[in-house]
Structure 1
Amino acid sequence: MAEDDQVEVKFRLFDGTDIGPNKYDPSTTVGSLKETILLRWPQDKEIVPKTINDVKLINAGKILENNRTLAESRVPVGELPGGVITMHVVVRPPVYDKNNEKQLANAPKQHRCACSIL
């Protein structure tokens, strides 16, 4: 496939940092993009996704499905030729089972602000 047909995408993380931009073939699946994100995830982040199911990609306000291709997920309105598409990355918080909840309940409490803004 020609270089001109590729789509340039960068991924914006929850704290405003970016992964990319990199060029991808339009037939690349969203699941493959998520695998790329996991491989390139910055090591200095406190929140780290474990699997592609822990990551959600959002483009133009729509959550992208793993089995869809990049071409199917693009929103053509407002895109400039040669422009970079920014997809937002949301990480699902870890799910705790009942055993972990008991351990968390018995753990020492951290100091938290109890302020109310009126």
Structure 2
Amino acid sequence: MSGLQDQVEIKFRLIDGSDIGPKSFPAATTVSTLKETILAQWPKDKENGPRTVKDVKLISAGKILENNRTVEDCRSPLCDIPGGVTIMHVVVQPPPLEKAEKKLSDDQNQCKCVCVIL
């Protein structure tokens, strides 16, 4: 019986309302491992998917989960029902805007206007 209690059913809710899972994980599973699972199972037809684990943020019970925490550490006694499915929200960080900002600043430097009043 204790083996079943050490398992946690988790469903990952994506931004568009679709889900990955539910899937059973041991309570000792780290958040980083959950993110790797999401990356591996990300639907191919979805745009703007994560490229790396660093692009994924998991939110459970209103808290952003840290990579080194375990599933057991993240469980909320108020939100998680024993034997129920825990829903974690998945947020994908957009790619950095460094290139776009650099291009914009380059364009601003090249665009020079001259006005002559006769």
With normalisation by structure 1, the TM-score equals 0.81
Residue identity in the other structure for 1:62: K
Deviations 1:76-109 (A, max 9, x none): 1142221000000000011032467417x97xxx
Runs of 4+ in 1 over 6 A off after TM superposition: none
1:98 to 1:79, Cα distance in 2 relative to 1, 3 A:
closer
What is the CA distance between 1:17 and its match in structure 2? 0.3
What is the CA distance between 1:3 and its match in structure 2? 2.6
- CA distance in structure 2 between the partners assigned to 1:51 and 1:62 by the alignment: 21
Structure 1 unmatched ranges of 5 or more: 107-118
- CA distance in structure 1 between the partners assigned to 2:77 and 2:60 by the alignment: 11
Deviations 1:43-82 (A, max 9, x none): 0011110111100000010000000000001111142221
User: Which position in structure 1 is the counterpart of 2:6?
Assistant: 5
1:77 corresponds to 2:78: yes
- CA distance in structure 1 between the partners assigned to 2:21 and 2:3 by the alignment: 20
Identity %: 57
Residue identity in the other structure for 2:97: Y
1:42 corresponds to 2:43: yes
Structure 2 unmatched ranges of 5 or more: 108-118
- CA distance in structure 1 between the partners assigned to 2:28 and 2:79 by the alignment: 21
User: Which position in structure 2 is the counterpart of 1:94?
Assistant: 95
1:18 to 1:102, Cα distance in 2 relative to 1, 3 A:
same
Greater share of helix:
2
With normalisation by structure 2, the TM-score equals 0.81
**RMSD over aligned Cα, in angstroms?**
2.0
